[in-house]
Chain A
Amino acid sequence: MTTPAARALAALALDPGGLGGLCLRARFGPAREMFETALARLPGEARRIHPAISDTQLFGGLNIAASLAEGRPIADPGLIDTPCRLILTMAERTSPGLAARLSRILDQRTGHSLIALDEGTGPEERLPDALTDRLAFHIEPEEGRGSPIMLPAPADLDDARARLAQVITPDDTLPALTALAARFGIDSLRAPLFALRAARALAALDDCPEVTDDHLREAAELVYPSRATQIPQEPEPEPEQPEQSPPDDTDREGEDQSAPDIPEDILVQAIAALLPADILERTAKRNRAAASGSGAGNRRAGNRRGRPLPSRPGRPDAQARIDTVATLRAAAPWQTLRRTEANAHRAIIIHPGDIRLKRFEDRSDRLLIFAVDASGSAAVARLNEAKGAVELMLAQAYARRDQVALIAFRGDRADELLPPTRSLVQAKRQLASLPGGGGTPLAAGLVAATELAGHAAGRGLTPMLVLLTDGRANIPLSGEPGRKAALEDAEAVAAGLYARGITGVLIDTSNRPAEQARNIAARLGARYIALPRADARGISTAVSAALDS
């Protein structure tokens, strides 16, 4: 039996440039081993790369040692020079910069394809979206399972590749695929294009002269599920009917914009069955990853600590350290010239312009976690003011280099409404509508804040808490209403936060400031501010003042 992974790999072997590549998301285990075994059997050249690959390796560059020995410049070829399958290991650690470079290689259609082996565990650890979008297939095998991936013989693949250009695509295939993508909320136009090309490759593999409905379905099943952002609702009569589809069939209510022979509902159901169970959650988290994983804003290039970056020219001073090797490399090509000019016979002549300084990437930005009590009648107003404050803080964040996240707690749970971000655009999009009402699970809110803070600290951010509440907790962690237990739980979690060294501010939003909130603030070790009619600007000012003091 051929698995989706096998079909995807075979299709990719036929049309590597057109399909871009494949992302396998699996921890190291049997499934991944089977995949790698199959990968090794694919014809064509493959090169393994890793997220820390340098530009010289990717794009080529001057080989200093060889150039000096030969007395003429010798260039090292880069991976971009020969079409090959790039296998990116530990793809979840790919930086946005590398993703942009790899995207460019894929966009140039030089015959490269990319196999990303993503071992990420949490939603934050994944291949950057810019790259994911350019890979046709995404495969996420079940944990711990591994079955051999059966690929066609290389000769069969060659035959199929020769047939690919002759495969006929019926006129209605493209409209059907596009409409289908729209119903699953897939915004990027690359998805239907990939599905179309995948359908052709599958037809060529099966030695069919034209793309059939089965190929169409299979292609959609391979390309769409991982990109879906919504589960299709009941089909509504769509006004837009593609001009190209045959106008003859009259009884196709509710299934317009699909291939005439295969009702759209069947297609939709087939794909819906393959959607990840946690699709909605994933969509939310994907946005989070986009916001924080990008990291373009939250890294800081310093010259003392952090992850090493390529060195650059500069003058050494008390702050900077010289990169000796890079300096020597910079000076090496000019030695002949300088010896002649200076008429000197020193072993090596270094000029100030050669000096390269070490640079490091450092992350020490602050993450402001807004934990907002969304319970009771004042919830909506309070949330809206908190949202305003978040946006105001973000507007200033460029100068302050802060990130902001927002957690709302109500009923029996806490929701992370805005994952850590510096992007005002993200914040606006995600905070468009806010739920409110219900009990006050203060402890759950603090637990969520603790988790988020731990995560942020792990990524080198300095978390700080801004808690907006009246302190009148009535839902403990167990979920069973009870004022006493609720307060005890909240105080215990607050003490835990304090123990972790997370500082912050508690803004008491109740009309009559009461003892409870003050107690929580004391447990948190947080500054207590009573702001009965807290508005966005008031909150933002108070928070800025409290955090800067």
Chain B
Amino acid sequence: MGGRQAARPAWTEYMKTAFPFSAIVGQDDMKQALILTAIDPGLGGVLVFGDRGTGKSTAVRALAALLPPIRQIAGCPVNSADAADIPDWAEVADRDMVERPTPVVDLPLGVTEDRVTGALDIERALTRGEKAFEPGLLARANRGYLYIDEVNLLEDHIVDLLLDVAQSGTNAVEREGLSIRHPARFVLVGSGNPEEGELRPQLLDRFGLSVEVGSPTDIDERIEVIRRRDAFETDYDTFMAHWQAEDTQIRDAILAARAALRQTDAPESILRDCAQLALSLGTDGLRGELTLLRAARALAAYEGAAAVDRDHLARVAPLALAHRLRRDPLDEAGSGARVNRAVADVLQ
């Protein structure tokens, strides 16, 4: 299967009516993590784990509406910014540049491999007897976000495929004598409920940051959540007019942070702290400390600091490290608390 249903709006069109990002009550860790990946897409994505009804999906969809637009060549199937990047199989007539929202592509459960990687264009084969490649979700997600809701329920063979592409940044399809390659660099955002099945460690490690969310316990906060949700649904225009101004502020801050990212300095002592933290927690590989440093730098840039300091490091450490710890089932506190203990020890 594959082919034509790829163009179906129900799968592909992103919800136009996303809840405003700034109107999400609480959930600061989740919002922070999402903003950090927007500043530095190289961070490697976010995994959001938590109970039902905590606004996981809402936040990710809200991010789509918030992100600054990208510039790309009109009609390029892989959203290329540069004419040289247009794959040879794509028939792009002219070289006009257009501005468009950052792509956020939903990966539905039960998706077929054809839909993910792309396949032969069934319409062209049927009507004109021609071989042409019809790009899949990975092509559309290039330079953007790939969102997997209920990531822990995704079939294993799709997970393997995603990991492979996420690693290499390239999607390769061999079929019907076609040999197709195209860039597929995207930020993975996954959400799920750990009680419905745990995630393979290999997939966990692919996510740069992880967040655990829960329902707010404070009554006033809960009331505010519902009040805003209700206003969003019943009085859409007024609600959006109010919050879009705040969303714009966040977007501007993200843009400023992106520009400042290169100039944000990470002193030698901070590198040492990163290594020390990773060592004391026994995280495998270097990916943990690298992500830690990048996340801290993105946070510093977002806050307009000239250099990364220990406070930045301490605040992003649970996001960057908690999901990389070996699980110790006899430790009651959970991995977030272990990271915080280590932060307290190492950073005094």
Contact = CB atoms under 8 A, between A and B. Distances in A.
Instruction: Decide whether A and B assemble into one complex.
Output: yes
Contacts of B215: 187-189
A423 B329 CA distance: 11
A40 interface: no
Interface stretch (B51-59, B162-170, B249-257, B286-294): B51-59
A201 to B, nearest CB: 12
Given A96-B153, A337-B131, A423-B194, A55 B110 contact: yes
Given A188-B53, A333-B122, A337-B130, A296 B152 contact: yes
A192 B123 contact: no
A333 B195 contact: no
Nearest to B214: A187
A291 interface: yes
Interface string B199-243: 011000000000000011011101101110110011000000000
A110 B122 CA distance: 28
Nearest to B194: A425
A75 B5 contact: yes
A510 B175 CA distance: 66
Interface stretch (A173-181, A269-277, A437-445): A173-181
Contacts of A174: 223, 226-227, 230
B332 interface: yes
A455 interface: no
Nearest to B55: A189
Contact of A97 (B55, B153, B198, B200): B153
B126 A238 contact: no
Interface string A130-146: 10010000000000000
Nearest to A290: B195
A67 interface: yes
Contacts of B126: 67-68, 71-73, 333, 336
Contacts of B160: none
A111 B116 CA distance: 28
Contacts, number: 183
Contacts of A294: 195-197
A81 B126 CA distance: 25
Interface string B2-19: 011100101100010100
A193 interface: yes
**A contact residues, range:** 35 or more
Contacts of B193: 130
Nearest to A294: B196
A423 B233 CA distance: 36
Given A353-B176, A426-B195, A129 B52 contact: yes
A196 interface: yes
Given A297-B198, A337-B131, A340-B129, A104 B108 contact: yes
Contacts of B194: 423, 425
A104 B149 contact: yes
A60 B48 CA distance: 30
Nearest to A76: B5
Interface in A329-345: 329-330, 333-334, 336-337, 340
Given A190-B53, A238-B219, A296-B196, A73 B108 contact: no
Interface in A20-62: 55-56, 59-62
B198 A423 contact: yes
Interface residues of B, number: 64
A333 B3 contact: yes
B82 interface: no
A18 B15 CA distance: 17
Which of A75, A130, A178, A243 is most buried by chain B, counting CB atoms within 10 A of its CB?
A178
Which of B127, B223, B327, B330 is most buried by chain A, counting CB atoms within 10 A of its CB?
B223
Contacts of B57: 107
B226 A192 contact: yes
Interface in B13-55: 15, 17, 51-55
B150 interface: yes
Contact of B4 (A62, A197, A296, A297): A62
Given A80-B10, A178-B226, A312-B157, A291 B195 contact: yes
Contacts of B230: 174, 193, 196-197
B120 interface: yes
B10 A334 contact: no
Contacts of B149: 100, 104
Contact of A96 (B125, B196, B198, B229): B196
8 contacts: A100-B149, A301-B156, A312-B157, A334-B176, A388-B329, A388-B330, A423-B195, A426-B195
Closest 9 pairs between A and B when the two form their complex, measured CB to CB: A296-B197, A391-B329, A188-B53, A395-B329, A73-B4, A294-B196, A297-B197, A100-B150, A178-B223
Given A351-B176, A388-B330, 9 more contacts: A71-B126, A75-B4, A81-B10, A101-B109, A178-B222, A189-B55, A296-B197, A334-B125, A388-B329
